[in-house]
């Protein structure tokens, strides 16, 4: 079977975020970039499902020329084909992105995405994609396996560990935590460099993300009260625990 996994080049949120002057995007000159954590797990699941079913895993991204780095990262860990919709992703809203993925996803049995992107945090692209394709969608799971023409997906839900069984073709959005993304091997990286990337233009003009502007939250003034240094601070800490009434007796 054919699995498509969608990834997005996002700013690494462990580094400080700087915005562009027009407030429309994060300034990439000062940022590190990565793939969303949920998508690293989606890639791992795509590769596992492809291996288990004797199928293939294809990675897709929508982004500028630099986003090829994230495609290569997915190719290095087991995806064998890559599609790059070349566009300025910051001008695409979630409905636009879903439409672009749908234009590629028609031939695939299973489409995996992250539950939400680490940057825009829209929580909706996978669901919109499912409606574009007229396919069922399971959201926010950590484990995915395929048996015949049924996908079983499960994860920690509101009512405990929840399991879904859905006929293919289907869309599944993934959360971090169920699988350990494998590290790329050196031969994997070498091979990834040689895979031709299927570059395509977007199929439609984007409507846009309805963004007025981005802002940085005001830095909170530091009001920290230092209780002491090293082991000598222990009595002051326990005084505090008692004062807050959190010390179980």
Please, which of residues 91-130 interact with other proteins by CB under 8 A? 93-95, 98, 116, 118-124, 127-128, 130
Q: Which is nearer to other proteins, 106 or 228 (CB)?
A: 228
Q: Does 145 bind other proteins (CB under 8 A)?
A: no
Q: Which is nearer to other proteins, 64 or 122 (CB)?
A: 122
Residue 64 DSSP label? -
Least spacing, CB of residue 80 vs other proteins, in Å: 26
Tell me which stretch binds other proteins (CB under 8 A): 68-76, 79-87, 192-200, 211-219.
Answer: 211-219
Tell me which stretch binds other proteins (CB under 8 A): 47-55, 62-70, 105-113, 136-144.
Answer: 136-144
Q: Which is nearer to other proteins, 42 or 82 (CB)?
A: 42
Tokens of residue 166, six digits = 């859905």
Tokens of residue 23, six digits = 């407030």
Binds other proteins by CB under 8 A, chosen from 29, 107, 148, 158: 158
Residue 123 DSSP label? S
Query: Which H or E run contains 161?
Result: strand 160-167
Residues 6+ positions from 145 with CB-CB distance below 8 Å: 48, 49, 52, 151, 152
Least spacing, CB of residue 97 vs other proteins, in Å: 13
β-bridge pairing 170-174 and 110-114: parallel
Q: Does 65 bind other proteins (CB under 8 A)?
A: no
Q: What is the CA radius of gyration of the chain?
A: 21
Residue 147's SS3 state is strand
Per rule CB under 8 A, count of chain residues that contact other proteins:
81
Q: Which is nearer to other proteins, 25 or 197 (CB)?
A: 25
Do the Cβ atoms of 69 and 9 come closer than 8 Å? yes
Tell me which stretch binds other proteins (CB under 8 A): 10-18, 52-60, 71-79, 182-190.
Answer: 10-18
Each residue 168-207 as x (binds other proteins by CB under 8 A) or -, in order, gives --x----xxx--x---------------------------
Whole-angstrom Cα distance, residue 135 to residue 110?
10
Least spacing, CB of residue 145 vs other proteins, in Å: 14
Least spacing, CB of residue 41 vs other proteins, in Å: 9
Burial of 162 from C-beta contacts in 10 A (0-12 / 13-18 / 19+): middle
Whole-angstrom Cα distance, residue 182 to residue 46?
12
């Amino acid at each position: 079977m054919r699995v498509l996994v969608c990834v997005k080049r996002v700013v690494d949120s462990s580094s400080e975020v700087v915005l562009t002057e027009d407030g429309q995007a994060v300034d990439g000159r000062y940022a590190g970039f990565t793939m969303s954590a949920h998508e690293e797990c989606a890639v791992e699941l795509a590769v596992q499902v492809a291996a288990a079913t004797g199928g293939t895993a294809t990675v897709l991204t929508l982004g500028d020329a630099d986003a090829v780095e994230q495609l290569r990262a997915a190719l290095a860990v087991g995806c064998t084909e890559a599609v790059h919709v070349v566009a300025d992703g910051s001008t695409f809203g979630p409905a636009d992105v879903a439409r672009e993925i749908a234009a590629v996803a028609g031939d695939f049995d299973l489409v995996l995405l992250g539950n939400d992107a680490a940057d825009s945090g829209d929580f909706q692209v996978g669901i919109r994609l499912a409606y574009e394709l007229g396919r069922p969608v399971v959201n926010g799971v950590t484990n995915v396996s395929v048996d015949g023409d049924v996908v079983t997906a499960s994860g920690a839900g509101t009512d405990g560990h929840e399991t879904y069984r859905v006929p293919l073709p289907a869309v599944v959005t993934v959360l971090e935590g169920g699988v350990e993304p494998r590290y790329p091997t050196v031969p994997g990286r070498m091979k990834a460099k040689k895979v031709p990337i299927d570059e395509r233009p977007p199929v439609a003009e984007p409507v846009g993300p309805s963004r007025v502007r981005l802002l940085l939250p005001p830095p909170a003034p530091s009001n920290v009260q230092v209780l002491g240094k090293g082991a000598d601070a222990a009595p002051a800490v326990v005084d505090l625990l008692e004062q807050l009434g959190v010390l179980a007796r």
